[in-house]
């Protein structure tokens, strides 16, 4: 991508100004489940007893990528926008039985006004969780329409790219393969080494991290995702015992609701950062994290935490407090526009890259080259979903 010249800057500014001009009347709002990973990846519903630990780990069909949905919005001018949301069929129900009423007939270019209307209208039962997951998919589809209407990729409408290539970190279990792909930062999940909080589980996890450090080398960044399963004392002890591994951050060690616990961790932990926010919602939730100094790194997920409209507000709020933002699944097409355009987003988490995936996930991933994502050049979000792909993965949206 060439260096931004004065002429290019003026062209970007003109495109951004024109993006909101005119009218794109919404004539259709549909959503469908988006099967990117099986529900079983995050637990099982087969329990041995009432006290089976698996009961605390059965996240069900509405969480994470198992609950991903694809929102499709069409306008009277022939533009179709796509956005990924969360919440599975429960969020789809909210879209079809409530939010669609606010959208049909409205001007799709009034993106942020529509966000505020949806948020206000669902606030008596929403504010977090399923309602915001549904709004997220809609918001991203509207930004897709806005970019296509302007004939520009969304990152240009956000002010242009602040980096030509976006450093990526790999999340998964095959660090050797990821290293060959050019990744220089790696994150392990607890499912790679067990998730208990007993001494034996801790030692297995430490052994797995030391093995990983041996694979990736001393100069690479190494992180761990704790899946909200620890407590403060265990996290502090683990951080001390893992000092030789030189972790860059520990992600979500506590319940998202343990604000006081995160505050204490950020105050007392040594030699490692605490990352959180993957399961927080909207700028209001992140304002609380920042106010209480409860995270060293924020990780909003744009596909269920409020969409791009909220993501850019969160990144700006965090920048004023000197807290970097590394969006969860930042290497998807739905988040890469924020990472590319905002100076407070230093890295993008991998989205399917280096993992066994499917054609749909590949189509929702920006160009990747030797450890870096590249800003997509296609107008809008950059999603390209031919009828055959829709029919295979989301048949309800193929017609």
Give the tens place of pLDDT for each residue, 319-334: 999 999 999 999 999 9
Residue 357 has pLDDT above 80, yes or no: no
- Domain end residue (candidates: 102, 128, 155): 155
Q: DSSP 3-state assignment of 334?
A: helix
Closest CA relative to residue 160, chosen from 18, 303, 11: 11
In a domain, 174, yes or no: yes
Residue 16 has pLDDT above 70, yes or no: no
| 270 and 178 share one domain | yes
Residue 336 contacts residue 380 (beta carbons within 8 Å) = no
| 126 and 146 share one domain | yes
| 109 and 205 share one domain | no
Which phi and psi (to 5°) does residue 334 adopt?
Answer: -80, -15
Q: Provide the number of structural domains found in the chain.
A: 2
Token readout for 248 is 């860059």
- The partner residues of 33 in beta bridges, in order of sequence, read 69
**57-83: per-residue pLDDT in tens?**
888 888 888 899 999 999 999 999 999
**β strands within the chain, DSSP E:** 26-33, 69-75, 80-85, 166-171, 185-189, 221-225, 249-251, 273-276, 297-298, 348-349, 368-369, 372-373
* Enclosing domain of residue 23: 6-155
**Measured over all CA atoms, what is the biggest interatomic distance in the chain, rounded to whole angstroms?**
68
Q: What is the pLDDT of residue 13?
A: 57
Q: What is the pLDDT of residue 38?
A: 77
| 92 and 208 share one domain | no
Catalytic residue among 296, 328, 337, 342: 328
Q: What is the pLDDT of residue 389?
A: 94
In a domain, 389, yes or no: no
| 193 and 117 share one domain | no
- Angle 35-36-41 (CA atoms, 0-180°, nearest 5)? 100
CB burial string 248-272: b at 16+ within 10 A, e below: bbbbbbbebebbebbbbbbeebeeb
d(CA 182, CA 49): 45
Residue 2 has pLDDT above 50, yes or no: no
| 138 and 175 share one domain | no
Residue 244 contacts residue 265 (beta carbons within 8 Å) = no
Helix pair angle (199-216, 232-241), 10° resolution:
40
Q: What is the pLDDT of residue 3?
A: 47
| CATH code of 167's domain | 3.20.20.120
| 36 and 103 share one domain | yes
Token readout for 169 is 């970190």
| 227 and 242 share one domain | yes
| CATH code of 145's domain | 3.30.390.10
Token readout for 307 is 């969409």
Q: Residue 328 catalytic?
A: yes
| 119 and 181 share one domain | no
User: 287, exposed or middle or buried, with CB in 10 Å at 0-12, 13-18, 19+?
Assistant: middle
């Amino acid at each position: 991508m060439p260096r931004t010249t004065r002429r290019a800057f003026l062209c970007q500014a003109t495109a951004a100004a024109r993006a909101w001009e005119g009218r794109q009347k919404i004539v259709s709002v549909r959503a469908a489940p988006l099967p990117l990973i099986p529900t079983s990846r995050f637990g099982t519903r087969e329990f041995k007893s009432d006290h089976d630990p698996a009961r605390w780990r059965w996240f069900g069909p509405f969480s994470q990528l198992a609950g991903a949905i694809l929102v499709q919005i069409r306008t009277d001018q022939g533009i179709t926008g796509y956005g990924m949301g969360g919440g599975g069929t429960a969020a789809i129900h909210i879209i079809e039985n409530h939010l669609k009423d606010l959208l049909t007939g409205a001007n799709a270019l009034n993106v942020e006004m529509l966000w505020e209307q949806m948020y206000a209208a669902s606030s008596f039962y929403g504010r977090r969780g399923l309602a915001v997951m549904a709004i997220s998919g809609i918001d991203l589809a509207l930004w897709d329409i806005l970019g296509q209407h302007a004939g520009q990729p969304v990152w240009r409408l956000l002010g242009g790219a602040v980096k030509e290539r976006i450093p990526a970190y790999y999340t998964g279990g095959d660090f050797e393969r990821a290293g060959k792909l050019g990744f220089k930062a790696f994150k392990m999940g607890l499912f790679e080494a067990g998730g208990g909080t007993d001494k034996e589980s801790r030692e297995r996890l430490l052994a797995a991290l030391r093995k990983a450090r041996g694979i990736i080398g001393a100069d690479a960044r190494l992180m761990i995702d704790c899946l909200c399963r620890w407590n403060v004392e265990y996290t502090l002890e683990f951080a001390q015992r893992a000092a030789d591994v030189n972790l860059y951050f520990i992600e979500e060690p506590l319940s998202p609701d343990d604000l006081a616990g995160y505050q204490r961790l950020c105050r007392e932990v040594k030699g490692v950062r605490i990352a959180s926010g993957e399961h927080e919602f909207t700028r209001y939730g992140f304002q609380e994290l920042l106010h209480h100094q409860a995270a060293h790194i924020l990780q909003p997920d744009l596909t269920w935490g409020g969409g791009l409209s909220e993501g850019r507000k969160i990144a700006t709020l965090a920048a004023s407090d000197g807290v970097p933002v590394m969006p969860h699944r930042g290497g998807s097409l739905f988040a890469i526009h924020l990472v590319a355009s905002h100076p407070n987003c230093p890295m993008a988490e991998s989205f399917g890259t280096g993992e066994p995936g499917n054609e749909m996930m590949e189509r929702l991933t920006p160009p990747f080259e030797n450890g870096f994502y590249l800003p997509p050049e296609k107008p809008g979000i950059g999603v390209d979903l031919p009828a055959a792909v829709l029919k295979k993965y989301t048949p309800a949206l193929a017609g």
